[in-house]
A = this chain, B = another copy of it.
Amino acid sequence: MSKWTAKDVLRADQFTKEEIATILELAGEYERALSDGRTLDVMKGLVLSTLFFEPSTRTRLSFETAMLRLGGGVVSVSEAKSTSASKGESLHDTIRTVEGYADVIVLRHPQIGAADEAARATDKPVLNAGDGAGQHPTQSLLDLYTITKETGRIDTLTVALAGDLKNGRTVHSLALLLANYEVQFVFIAPPALRMPDAICNELDQRGVRIQQTDDLATGIEQADVLYMTRIQRERFDDPSAYDRLKDSYVLTRDLVESAKDGIVVMHPLPRVNEIATDVDDYGKAAYFRQAANGVPVRMALLALVSGRA
């Protein structure tokens, strides 16, 4: 892995296609090692500090599990209010302090740009585990890993993104990441929650074909992958507008059966009711496997930024 140069993992769009291939390949190796019951000591003697200035149990447990599976140790801060920030300390100073303890830092923070600020403060690797409405690159990478595992490829896929495409950090990052490949998109959203023009324009410029619709059933007719997200009532100025359309953005088993054969169903979780629970038994319902994929992908990233891969 002599080609790896990134000190940090800050943005989904920071990686070249070659680097992404390196990450996905190494994640695959680690996943096979784990399923073979092999014990790894890639990070033996190293300490990860997870710093979660806002709670995100899923992401925190996934990173901490990844570190333990690599043979490393973890020190954890799961809540902002127990940090020195509550005493007026700057993020810069918190990071300068924690770099004195840990070898790698995973940061979750409510403010856009926090991870970049942290990375500038220290020579130790910083992994962005979500910076408010900003980036959540390890989510995008595990989404990509899931797509390749579930479909066996990325090129030539038609990927449908459905739900709240306006506010969803996850779908924005994933769309831009997938634009590195030969994919086409179907964007399925109510008019008020469409994919932002800025992203559509960038995809256009990169020659990616996009279809748009506000009808879920229509949108999934040709899709190889459906990435569902939740539509939140609070996004609507007019609650009755939400009530009129909410049921039409619920993926039912009937809808799945009417979609393209073998369509892969993904969701970043947590789900509330936007996927009916009887879809869980559908063989290509991949959302729980998707969550599990966070572990090998984060193992790969931890090892790569630590120079242990």
**Which A residues are closer than 8 A to B by beta carbons?**
37-39, 44-45, 47, 49, 55, 57-58, 61-62, 64-65, 68-69, 73-79, 81-84, 87-89, 92-94, 96-102, 269-272, 277, 280, 288-289, 291-295
Contacts and interface: CB of A to CB of B under 8 A. Distances in A.
Given A68-B47, A75-B61, A100-B288, A272 B88 contact: yes
Contacts of A49: 61, 65
A45 B55 contact: no
A63 B270 CA distance: 27
A270 to B, nearest CB: 4
A50 to B, nearest CB: 10
B97 A291 contact: yes
Contact of A97 (B58, B69, B77, B87): B58
A270 B87 contact: yes
A48 B74 CA distance: 14
Contacts of A271: 89, 93
A92 B287 CA distance: 13
Given A45-B39, A272-B89, A77 B100 contact: no
Given A57-B84, A93-B270, A97-B292, 4 more contacts: A76-B76, A89-B270, A89-B271, A100-B293
Contact of A96 (B39, B78, B288): B288
Contact of A65 (B39, B47, B96): B47
Nearest to A73: B68
A292 B83 contact: no
A136 to B, nearest CB: 15
